[in-house]
């Protein structure tokens, strides 16, 4: 019971982190090519995360108590997707929508609690790496703030999933080049 509670608490913290990362981005002058690339990638990754939380909640493997927080994490991911969509629209492009993706999960992705957590980490870690890269390289200050905030949220979500499983947290998570992050998520993004 205590374990369940601490898991719930951690997931709750993560949910809060996701909620805090919901920022409405004002339409800004044309973003550079690279900035848009991170936004497009992040958009897909946010939809992917939302899908993960939906399936994790439905599988029930993370415990019945975790379900509300998983659902609010899903809502938070969708809010992050909306923020990135606004950034893309502001730059004059059309963002992708959730129905444009057909996500592919490995067969046993949600078979056990450990699997479900591992799947979540596999999806969230490259996304965090990409946001770190974005925060470091992107020129526009407003976008840098957004990416840093998204990165922080991802960090909290990773912590929530990793902690109870005993998986070690890195003291200095490494930024991932967009190309590498994209390759890491390729099999999930369909």
Partner 1 sequence: MSHRLASLVLALVVTAFAATAASARTTAASPLTIYAAASLTQVFKVLDPAPNYSFAGSNALETQIRNGAPADIFASAAPLNTQRLYKAGIVDKPVTFTANRLALIVPKSNPAGIRSIYDLRSKPVKLVVAAPAVPVGGYTLTVLRRMGLSGVLSKVVSRESDVKAVTGKVALGQADAGFVYVTDARPVSDQVTVVRIPAWAQPRVRYEIAVVSKSPNKAAARAWITMLQSARGQTALENAGFLPVPKPST
Residues that bind partner 1 (CB under 8 A): 32-38, 40-41, 43-45, 93-94, 96-102, 178-179, 182, 186, 189-190
User: If you ran DSSP here, which 8-state letter would residue 139 be given?
Assistant: -
Nearer to partner 1, 91 or 109 (CB): 91
CA 87 – CA 76 distance, rounded (Å): 17
Comparing CB distances to partner 1, the nearer of 18 and 88 is 88
Smallest gap from residue 42 Cβ to partner 1 (A): 9
Instruction: For the CB of residue 139, give the shortest distance to partner 1 in the complex, in Å.
Output: 13
Whose Cβ is closer to partner 1: residue 136's or residue 169's?
136
Given the complex with partner 1, which of 170 and 179 has the nearer CB atom?
Answer: 179
Q: Rounded to the nearest whole angstrom, what is the least distance from the CB of residue 43 to partner 1 in the complex?
A: 7
* Helix or strand run (H / E) with residue 11: helix 2-20
DSSP state of 173: P
* Cβ–Cβ < 8 Å for 146, 101: no
Q: Can you tell me the distance from the alpha carbon of 75 to that of 54, in angstroms, rounded to the nearest whole number?
A: 10
CB of 92 to partner 1, least distance (A): 10
Please report how the helices 33-59 and 141-165 are oriented relative to each other, as an axis angle in degrees rounded to 10.
Answer: 30
């Amino acid at each position: 019971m205590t374990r369940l509670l601490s898991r719930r608490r951690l997931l709750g913290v993560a949910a809060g982190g996701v909620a805090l990362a919901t920022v409405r981005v004002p339409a800004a002058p044309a973003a550079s090519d690279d900035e848009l690339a991170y936004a497009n990638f992040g958009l897909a990754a946010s939809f992917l995360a939302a899908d993960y939380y939906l399936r994790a909640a439905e599988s029930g493997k993370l415990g019945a108590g975790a379900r509300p927080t998983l659902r609010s994490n899903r809502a938070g991911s969708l809010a992050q997707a909306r923020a990135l969509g606004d950034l893309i629209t502001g730059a004059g492009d059309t963002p992708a929508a959730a129905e444009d993706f057909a996500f592919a999960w490995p067969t046993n992705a949600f078979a056990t609690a450990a699997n479900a957590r591992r799947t979540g980490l596999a999806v969230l870690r490259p996304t965090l790496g990409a946001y770190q890269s974005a925060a470091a390289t992107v020129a526009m200050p407003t976008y840098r703030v957004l990416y840093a905030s998204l990165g922080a949220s991802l960090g909290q979500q990773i912590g929530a999933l990793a902690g109870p499983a005993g998986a070690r947290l890195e003291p200095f998570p490494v930024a991932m080049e967009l190309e590498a992050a994209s390759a890491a998520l390729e099999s999930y993004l369909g």
